Amino acid sequence: MSHGKVRAEKICLNCGSPVPQRYCPVCGQENIEPRQTAWHLVSHFFSDITHFDGKFFVTVKDLFRRPGFLSKEYKAGRRASYLDPIRMYIFTSAFFFIIFFSMVDAGNLNFGNGANNLHIGTDSERRKQIEVLEQRALSGADDAKDSANIRKAFAFNRNEKTNVLPDSLRKARITFMGNEEDYHSVGQYDSAQRSIPAAKRDSWLKRMVKRKGIEMSEKYKEDKAELLKEWVNIFLHNFPKLLFLSLPLFAFLLKLLYVRRKQFYYVDHGIFAVHLYIFSFLTLLVYFLLRKTETLSGWHWISWPAIIVLLFPIWYYYRAMRIFYGQGRMKTIFKYFLLFWGSFLVQLFLLVIFIVFSIFEL
């Protein structure tokens, strides 16, 4: 609670309504002196942080230990003890993608910094990674003959053929509709279209796609490796939008599955979906932490708890549906599988849309 000095005037500075006590009954603003000390700002900041942390950890504890419980509490109106689900979604998703993008090297098509992953980069970078892989392979050789075979296999990659993409793919003209190679600029294509009868011209969609293909061919100079790196970078940074747009569609699937449960409104399904997404973000963060610990420490036994963490949501989602919606085991299992396939198709549909849009952002 704020410790600012209450104003003598009982009129709200924000909305002008009478303020009989400390807080305005209309807009909720605290009726304190507008000029505040530096100490007040510092104490208010730490008060908000500790208040947020307290609610956050209580919410996370109940989210993991009691599937479906938070959504049930929210529906019943018992909300003050927990962090608001929308605020928590924004916080956890932002934190998740900060960690995710710090681990994914989109520019080099490489997950993390592990030496096991070859990537499309400079020749020197590729050769260094090949040398690391060769040394690892040689350390497991049984005899001199095995060592010779390993060196022979890596010698090919150490020379001209060090690209992950073969030359036939790396240096090939970029086309969408099959004959963009006939044009060297968008202006040339447009001029060719104007020179033929209107009935024989390409449709507006085909024109748009061909123009994009020509632009990409000009921009990336027939280098598909550079194009692939740029496209992955754009797509990955659009991925948070994909997940956010999938939320209302996921809630709509739940509404269809439980359409006969009249006591559940669309908003209730939406809150349940938000809690599942928050749980998924936090679970993946734990998984990333375990895998990073395994990489840094070399403790390979950590892969087992990491696998358990990755499989845990399979049971969790079922249990959350059964607790929140209160239906029997067989009905819940049946709807669980319908939800799984329905959400898979929705995500696939959105994925295709975002792939297309990310291409046109190149």
The pLDDT of residue 238: 81
Within a domain: residue 46? no
Q: Do 230 and 99 share a structural domain?
A: yes
How far are the Cα atoms of 160, 172, 193, 212, 222 from residue 189, in angstroms, in the given order?
Answer: 36, 20, 6, 11, 18
| Cβ proximity of 31 and 19 under 8 Å | yes
Within a domain: residue 57? no
Within a domain: residue 188? yes
Q: Do 356 and 249 share a structural domain?
A: yes
| CA distance linking residue 210 with residue 76, whole number of Å | 55
Within a domain: residue 15? yes
Q: Do 158 and 307 share a structural domain?
A: no
Q: Do 317 and 240 share a structural domain?
A: yes
Within a domain: residue 337? yes
Number of domains in the chain: 4
Q: What is the mean pLDDT of each run of 10 residues along the chain (362 residues)?
A: 69 85 84 68 58 77 93 89 89 88 60 42 57 69 70 60 45 50 70 79 77 72 66 78 90 93 91 94 92 85 90 94 93 94 91 79 68
> pLDDT digit string (tens) for 80-124?
888 889 989 998 998 888 888 777 655 555 444 444 444 444 455
For 49, other C-beta atoms within 10 Å of its C-beta total: 10
Q: Please state the pTM of the whole predicted model.
A: 0.66
Within a domain: residue 325? yes
Q: Do 133 and 14 share a structural domain?
A: no
| CA distance linking residue 198 with residue 192, whole number of Å | 12
Q: Do 196 and 231 share a structural domain?
A: no
Q: Do 286 and 192 share a structural domain?
A: no
Within a domain: residue 288? yes
Q: Do 203 and 300 share a structural domain?
A: no
The pLDDT of residue 51: 57
> pLDDT digit string (tens) for 68-78?
999 999 998 88
Owning domain of residue 16 = 1-34
| Cβ proximity of 141 and 175 under 8 Å | no
Within a domain: residue 115? no
Q: Do 287 and 179 share a structural domain?
A: no
Q: Do 230 and 291 share a structural domain?
A: yes
